[in-house]
Amino acid sequence: MNALIAWLDHRTGIKGLMHEALYERIPGGARWRYVWGSTLVFTFTVQMISGIFLWSAYSPNATGAWESVYYIQNQMTMGWMVRGIHHFAAQAMVVLMALHLMQVVIDGAYKAPREVNFWLGLVLMQIVLGFSLTGYLLPWDQKGYYATRVATEIAGATPVIGAEVQKLAVGGEQYGHHTLTRFFALHTGVLPAALVGFLALHIYVFRRHGITVPDPNRAPTTTFWPDQVLKDAVACLAVLVTVMVLAFQFGAELSAPANAAEAYSAARPEWYYLFLFRFLKFEAVEHFGLAFGAIYVPGLLMTILVLMPFIAKVKGGHKFNVAFLFLIAFGAIGLTVLAMNEDKHNPSHQAAVKEALADGERLVELADAYGIPEGGANVLARNDPKLQGPRIFAKTCAACHRYDGHDGRGSPILVKDSTGKESPADPTGTDLGKYGTREWSRAVITDYDTLFAPLRNAEWHKELVAKPDSDGLNLDKSEMADWVKENRETLLKPENAEDLNALVEFLTSQADRPGETYDAKLVERGAKIFEEGTLTSGSLSVSCTGCHASIPAPTPETKLFFDSKVEPNGYPTLAGYGSDAWLKHFIANPGHGLHYGAKNQMPAYGGQFSPHQFNMLVRWMVGDYYKPKKEHGE
């Protein structure tokens, strides 16, 4: 072995290099405060290694980027772990960089003759932040896409050259394939090369002047090996363990694929940019414009950092520098906490975040089930009722109706009063969250007033109530409401519990919804009660067919779907009630004789939807979409 080492040393000089690297003198002994530079280099190495593995499976194009990240995350062996490590190591670099900067300034390691090394460190800081900005877009999901749009718009606010800088970064006028490929080139080529080059200069200049020691007499002078190496190794291990735990516990998020046609209200920068995001929202800052908050103020702060070596030459300059850095740190932390707290108490934002996560999970479910079509994952999204139905509902239906109390997408409908305070808006239509379910059918025949109470908020209903002779959809003069009041007590008798269940089962079975099963014996019994009104104890004041048309017996061809064989009789038909065919007919023309007729107050939407939109909305409402086994408890 000695002969081998001697041979290698004779040809490479490795012994001298190792001695130079390991036996640097450290006055005052090894200390934990010196570990930050080494942990930064270690974390960058982790980023390089994990990045190469990600690169091997990544496809940098607008119809393949999200899809390749999906593959990494869900198909590639341990891909989710590699991506999680890369994601959290990037965040660790930002934290370690801030701690290293604080240590350098507090210890005065920026003073002469170390000014150049300090400035090289500031350049490295900008490169690390550049990594974060460029890497955010690469998954090509909604979160990264819209955050990058904001970042490039900020760049566009740069005086004089802003428009050209933005166009250069975007790759033209539109965000798309060229934007992604340019950010990929920056993230995997330009910035790593720049960081390695400036890091080599940084270490060279650092070794030229040696370590800055605040108190050289605190302990005997030692060398980098072995004491400081041990401390650095322990610190690097702690960083790695932290990153691994975060990767195991949380993983890296992947929201729905980027889609310029759909707004993304949950868009936020990474947490270490939240302070700037919140700063830009201050009314005073907004008054002076985007360039003031995003270019001039940060530029001024950065200028002070650059001038610190000169400021330190003035009496009290070092104390000013330390105080300034702490002020910036506390300000950034305070704004970050403020932004997080505001988002936490913002129902609309929380709903948008929840929806974004659900959308991402849904696309993974669809990709797992069907694979990814040639047009990319957005093809799956466009043709999935569970994704598109809520969006159509929120846009066209939520002005009147609610879906489990929200707009279909999880956001509350709010209105502002004269003081600007927001409060929930009163719905003017029924809540359709349970529409077509057994719970809905039970409410119709036992609690009609409560189910349809939101109609009382509508102006048309208030006008009807004001008319003494009104017999429209006036709940105060509703025949159905009166029928429920007359029969509720009888239906709710314990001895009629099975009859009530049977009637509910029969009415609910009209929808014959996909994946739903109905008790045949209960349906048969319910059909008889619907026709005759006879219960175990007593009978209905008027059978259901006293108003509504009889429901034809199902056949293998028609099942129980609504069809043209049902004749209008002045009351809404319940044949096929809640099925996709019934719903399409009703939504298209609720004033048809088979529905509300002359009493109708609902707008007809037949010409307001494309066939595809109509299909997506109705299929979502009846639950006709892919459901993984876990939704069925299997």
Q: What pLDDT is stored for residue 81 in this prediction?
A: 96
Query: What single-letter amino acid sits at 117?
Result: N
Backbone angles phi, psi at 614, to 5 degrees: -60, -45
Same domain, 170 and 309: no
Q: What is d(CA 236, CA 353) in angstroms, rounded to the nearest whole number?
A: 34
Same domain, 234 and 106: yes
Please say whether the beta carbons of 523 and 506 come within 8 A. Answer: yes
Give the three-class secondary structure for 431: strand
For 468-509, the pLDDT digits (tens) are 776 666 777 788 999 999 999 999 999 999 999 999 999 999
Q: Quick one: tokens of 474?
A: 């006036």
pLDDT at residue 29, rounded to an integer = 78
pLDDT in tens, 269-314: 889 999 999 999 999 999 999 999 999 999 999 999 999 999 999 9
Query: In sequence order, what DSSP letters do the residues of 185-222 get, joined into one string?
Result: HIIIIIHHHHHHHHHHHHHHHHHHH----S-TTSS--E
Q: What is the mean pLDDT of residues 413-417?
A: 87
Q: What is the pLDDT of residue 554?
A: 67
- The backbone torsions φ and ψ at residue 250, rounded to the nearest 5 degrees and listed phi first, read -115, -35
Residues 335 and 448 in one domain: no
Domain termination site, one of 314, 345, 376? 345
Same domain, 274 and 260: no
Total domains in the fold of the chain: 3
Between CA 551 and CA 292 the distance in angstroms is 70
Are 196 and 164 within one domain? yes
Of the three residues 239, 264, 289, the one that is the final residue of a domain is 264
- What is the pTM assigned to this prediction? 0.84
In-domain check, residue 43: yes
CB 578 within 8 A of CB 510: yes
Q: Are residues 293 and 243 part of one domain? A: no
| Residue 49 burial (10 A CB sphere; 0-12, 13-18, 19+) | middle
pLDDT at 600: 86
**pLDDT of res. 470:** 66
Q: How do residues 119-168 score in pLDDT, each as one tens digit?
A: 999 999 999 999 999 999 999 999 999 989 988 988 888 888 989 999 99
Length of the chain: 634
Co-location of 528 and 572 in the same domain: yes
**Residue 265 near residue 348 (C-beta atoms within 8 A):** yes
The answer on 284 and 249 residing in a single domain is: no
Structure tokens at 360: 């991402």
Q: What is the CATH number of the domain that holds 24?
A: 1.20.810.10
Residue pair 72/83 in contact (Cβ under 8 Å)? The answer is yes
Mean pLDDT of the chain: 90
Considering the domain boundaries, does residue 424 fall inside one?
no
Given 199, 233, 264, the domain boundary residue is 264
Which of 33-42, 203-212, 297-306 is the least confident region? Answer: 203-212
- Give the pLDDT confidence score for residue 632 in this predicted structure: 44
Could you tell me if 185 and 281 lie in one domain?
A: no
The helix or strand, by DSSP H or E, that contains position 108, with its residue range, turns out to be none
Whether 564 has a pLDDT exceeding 60, the answer reads no
The answer to whether residues 484 and 338 belong to one domain is no
Predicted pLDDT of residue 300: 96
- Domain enclosing residue 78, as ranges: 15-264
* Residues 327, 206 share a domain: no
Mean pLDDT of 430-450: 95
Residue 25 and residue 221 in contact, taking contact as beta carbons nearer than 8 Å: yes
CA dihedral 113, 114, 116, 117 (to 10 degrees): 160
The single-letter DSSP state of residue 422 is E
**228: buried, middle or exposed (CB in 10 Å: 19+, 13-18, 0-12)?**
buried
* ∠ Cα 183 187 188 (to 5°): 120
Helix (H, G, I), strand (E, B) or coil at 383: coil
**What pLDDT does residue 562 have?**
58
Classified as helix, coil or strand, 555 is: strand
Whether residues 299 and 155 share a domain: the answer is no
